[in-house]
Structure 1
């Protein structure tokens, strides 16, 4: 099982609102409820039906960094494929508050 690392970032209220808007654009609701998908990757992890596509160039990591950019953070999703690259981009711009254990 892969190691899970969690990081904290600081978002202003309007940045958080834009990030929520970004996530909501991709989630498919049925009768105003989320549609969870079965997932056996990591314990306590949930995945939901989405309108987004997933392939080599559209990964969850790239989607994450694009969402943070949409929220107003000055980061680019260009060339991001791995979680480590997301962390590196956030570190480059001094946007990480720290790692949560």
Structure 2
């Protein structure tokens, strides 16, 4: 029982829509947009150019003005916003989640410098696969009856904000599995089923032949 709890805790602390058949990753000659996956130890998220996502969700343009990139992470509503992590909070997130939430952070132009203390991997996507990834991210935001995203409290670092999310967090549907689903939508040849840890996600990103033709900022 203790080992099970420790394993579950390992997965849950990572995270403080039916997929369509994705198009294969474009080759280097066709790649056009640089995207990042950032690992903060146990938790992963995407860093994407702000403009295209803000075009899909205008409220993000109002909230995050003049930022070239946005980091987006998905997780359990109660756990992600908590100031202090407790055993009870961990168990609730694993088995009785209070709902999903998205964390959005304004990121300056030099992504690698901003996340210098985090593991990073970059890849390039064709227009088709980039659009598919953006659609996946945009669909992860919960909307009110008027189609507007629902901001919650301020985020946990930098210029950041929490938003109501779509989906159900549990032991086998973690933030890292959400990232893996996004990669699948973007054309990565993977199954998100067992991508429950940050390490498994980062290994997948680094293992695919998607190196950008030019050095990313």
Same fold (TM over 0.5): yes
Please identify runs of 4+ aligned residues in structure 1 that moved more than 4 A: none
Distance 1:4 1:11 in 2: 22
Deviations 1:15-63 (A, max 9, x none): 0111111122221123443223335544344432112111111111111
Q: Structure 1 stretches of 5 or more lacking a match?
A: none
Q: Structure 2 stretches of 5 or more lacking a match?
A: 1-39, 41-116
CA RMSD of aligned residues (A): 2.6
- Contact 2:154 / 2:161 at 8 angstroms: preserved in 1? yes
> What's the TM-score, normalizing by structure 2?
0.39
Distance 2:197 2:182 in 1: 15
| Greater displacement, 74-83 / 9-18 | 74-83
Tell me: higher relative CO, structure 1 or 2? Use CA pairs within 8 A at least 6 residues apart.
1
**Number of equivalenced pairs:** 99
| 1:40–1:13 distance in 2 versus 1, CA, 3 Å | closer
Distance 2:152 2:120 in 1: 22
How far off is 1:96 after superposition?
5.5
Q: 2:134 aligns with which of 7, 14, 20?
A: 20
Distance 1:64 1:9 in 2: 14
- Contact 1:16 / 1:71 at 8 angstroms: preserved in 2? yes
Bigger CA radius of gyration: 2
Q: 2:180 aligns with which of 65, 69, 76?
A: 65
